[in-house]
Amino acid sequence: MGLNDIQTRIAAACAEAGRAVDEVALIAVSKVQPLERVEAILEEGHLLFGENRVQEAAGKWPDFRVRFPDVSVHLIGPLQSNKTRQAFDLFEAIHSVDRPKLAQSIARLAQEEGRCPELFIQVNTGEEPQKAGILPGDADAFIQDCRAMDLPLRGLMCIPPVDEAPSLHFALLKKIAERNGLNGLSMGMSNDFEQAIAFGATHIRVGSAIFGERVPT
């Protein structure tokens, strides 16, 4: 466990898959972690982090950014459209674009500000009713709509169902991305990032394997 160990495992998975190690960005998911654990990873020189709640990120990252101005923070959890402006101020990327209303809200603000975080469309590959994301069958049309709004699409994101083989979901996400000419794939977490790398992940989101188990809230 720890940052070095994960980096070693990423390098091994990349070698196995015949990929260059710099094709895979490690997003250290710092949600709910005590600040001193996050600070320790910052001190080690890691600069890319993920948060799943806007409020929590707002309470933490503006201070860290003063001391570590080169950090990037990605939103990997749900975004309400009325928090779009706050998200623009807090995050370099949003991985959870999951519905037309949110896409429209982002497009309006991007017009107004002349800038936009990089965007990933979240796909509900397992078609789970309780989970966010565009259904696989609606993904092509939604991607087209986002492009028509000039949104800076970086790629697709998924969170596989807990009780299914993640590789099926990684393969599906990759297929949808390929047929739409997108090459960013945000997939893979602590338990399955090596498989995700084998299936072409460009952004893996790893929390507990770096920081230790999250303290329950």
Beta strand pairing status for 93-97 and 118-122? parallel
**Helix 166-179 with 136-148: angle, nearest 10 deg:** 40
By the rule CB under 6 A, 60 interacts with ligand PLP = no
**Considering only residues 6, 10, 26, 29, which one is a binding residue for ligand PLP as defined by CB under 6 A?**
29
**Considering only residues 52, 105, 180, 195, which one is a binding residue for ligand PLP as defined by CB under 6 A?**
52
Q: In the bound complex, what is the minimum distance in angstroms from residue 150's beta carbon to ligand PLP?
A: 26
Which uninterrupted H or E stretch holds 96? strand 93-97
Is 173:195 a contact under the CB 8 Å cutoff? no
Indicate the residue type of 51.
Answer: E
167 CB-near residues (< 8 Å, 6+ apart):
195, 198, 199
214, two tokens: 């999250």
Q: In the bound complex, what is the minimum distance in angstroms from residue 112's beta carbon to ligand PLP?
A: 28
Q: Per CB under 6 A, which of residues 152..211 are in contact with ligand PLP?
A: 159, 189-190, 205-209
Q: In the bound complex, what is the minimum distance in angstroms from residue 95's beta carbon to ligand PLP?
A: 7
Residues lying near ligand PLP in the complex (CB under 6 A) = 29, 31, 52, 76-77, 159, 189-190, 205-209
